[in-house]
Amino acid sequence: MLNIRTALNRGESGSNANWKAVWPGVAPTNRSAAAGALGIVASTFLSKMNAQPILQCIDDRLTIAFIGGNFLNIIKAMAASEKIAPWLSSSGALLAEIAARTTLALQEGAGWEICSNQDCRRLYRPRRHVAEGRLHFCNICGKRASWRLSKRRKARSR
């Protein structure tokens, strides 16, 4: 799927060998049809892995993770047996994470981000990719929040 995505970035439809690995029919010949087919392949991959998002608390922060399997059944099984609860909590997580992250890698444009303003923390779609470790703000908070935060940091450092 990632090789096909790379070909799409070059304006091509992808090689027949790559399509044969993920697509049951004839490989698409134009970019538009290939992009549509790749969307179907990625959605099917997510579905087969039964990737379901969960919100869990890690290091005192709520974080979205993906698990495979039926979430309610996993929670019930964890409650029923404390000895295997740690194993159950991670069962199916690897394949679900691979499916979710592969799908995110396939998407075009910036993904979803959470505003760095501690008073806001809204989920929003930035206009461009956000550099890792950099602060970023939603359209509502914008430059004003950035300026205010920099002043607070400067005051703390003094």
Q: Left (φ > 0), alpha (ψ -120 to 50) or beta: where does 128 sit?
A: beta
- 63 phi and psi angles, rounded to 5 deg: -135, 140
Q: Which domain holds residue 117?
A: 113-157
132 and 87 within one domain: no
Residue 141 pLDDT greater than 70, yes or no: yes
Instruction: Out of 68, 89, 106, pick the residue that ends a domain.
Output: 106
Give how many domains the chain has, as a whole number: 3
101 and 59 within one domain: yes
Res 99: pLDDT: 83
Res 88: pLDDT: 60
Res 83: pLDDT: 73
Q: What is the spatial distance between Cα 8 and Cα 149, in angstroms, rounded to a whole number?
A: 40
Res 112: pLDDT: 76
Q: Which residue has the tokens 């996993």?
A: 74
The pLDDT-based confidence of 52 (bands split at 50, 70, 90) is confident
Res 111: pLDDT: 73
Mean pLDDT of the region 12-39: 93
41 and 9 within one domain: yes
Give the DSSP H or E segment for 42: helix 31-48
* Global pTM exceeds 0.75: no
For all residues of the chain together, what is the average pLDDT? Answer: 82
40 and 9 within one domain: yes
* Interval 70-101: pLDDT, tens: 667 777 777 777 776 666 655 567 778 788 87
